Structure 1
Amino acid sequence: MCKHILNAQVAIRSPCCRKWFDCADCHHETESHPLAQRTEMIFACKKCKKTFRKDAQEFEESDEYCPHCDNHFVIDAMTPKPMLKIEGEDARIDSRMLKDERVRQEEQRSIFDVKEAPNKLG
């Protein structure tokens, strides 16, 4: 899982060391050599787990989809951004601040009212 691109849809096989990486930054962090660049790239779709090749020189709009499962893998990358938020801002998003004050009712396991039975039977 890539910490640089949060919504990476494919893994790319580097032509220099033949290992799979989610982005070029992941390659630079783990390997000591520079990333070799080629026009033909080998991808592995993270949805269907199948591999396919694409030529970067002849890349068209229809090549933005996995040929096996039609997963759209060319999307705007979401990079993690540091942010400051106030806790408990919206209960629909984060409900950890709410306290459940409901009281559980006692279960009745019989069709007869067991607590009132001694008073009624006499």
Structure 2
Amino acid sequence: MCKHILNAQVAIRSPCCRKWFDCAECHAEQEDHQLLQKFEMIFACKKCKKCFRKDAQEFDESDEYCPHCDNHFVIEAVTPKPVLNFEGEDARKDSRMLRDDRVKQKELRSIFDVEDAPNRLG
């Protein structure tokens, strides 16, 4: 999983070291050399696990989809942001911290009530 781009749909094979990365920032963190820029890119779809090549010079709108499973892999890159929240802050969102004070009723095992039986049998 890429920590730089949320919901990354493809892995990209770097042409310099021939390793798979989710984004260029992942390559920069793990390798000690610059990413080699090429126009032909090799992708691996994370949905169907199949590889395919795309030419970046002639990139159309139809090239935004996996040719095998039609998964839309060109999506807007959203970088995750750290957020601090208190657990149980809003009961409408998270009610795990609240105790249920309702009275539990006796579980009836059949339609015949044993406690009321003498009054009904006569």
Q: How far apart, CA to CA, are the structure 1 residues paired with 2:42 and 2:36?
A: 13
Q: How far apart, CA to CA, are the structure 1 residues paired with 2:6 and 2:28?
A: 17
- Partner secondary structure for residue 52 of structure 1: strand
Structure 2 equivalent of residue 21 of structure 1: 21
The number of equivalent residue pairs is 121
Structure 1 equivalent of residue 60 of structure 2: 60
Structure 1 equivalent of residue 110 of structure 2: 110
- Partner secondary structure for residue 25 of structure 1: helix
TM-score (norm 2): 0.81
| Residue 68 (structure 1) shift | 1.3
Structure 2 equivalent of residue 6 of structure 1: 6
1:112 alignment partner AA: F
RMSD: 2.4
| Residue 41 (structure 1) shift | 0.5
Structure 1 equivalent of residue 47 of structure 2: 47
2:116 alignment partner AA: E
Task: Provide structure 2 residue ranges, at least 5 long, that are not aligned to the other structure.
Answer: none
Q: How far apart, CA to CA, are the structure 1 residues paired with 2:118 and 2:24?
A: 78
| Residue 84 (structure 1) shift | 4.7
Is 1:74 aligned with 2:88? Answer: no
Q: How far apart, CA to CA, are the structure 2 residues paired with 1:28 and 1:58?
A: 26
- Partner secondary structure for residue 28 of structure 1: helix
* Residues 19-53 of structure 1, C-alpha deviations (whole Å, 9 max, x = no match): 11111111111222222121110111111211111
Structure 1 equivalent of residue 31 of structure 2: 31
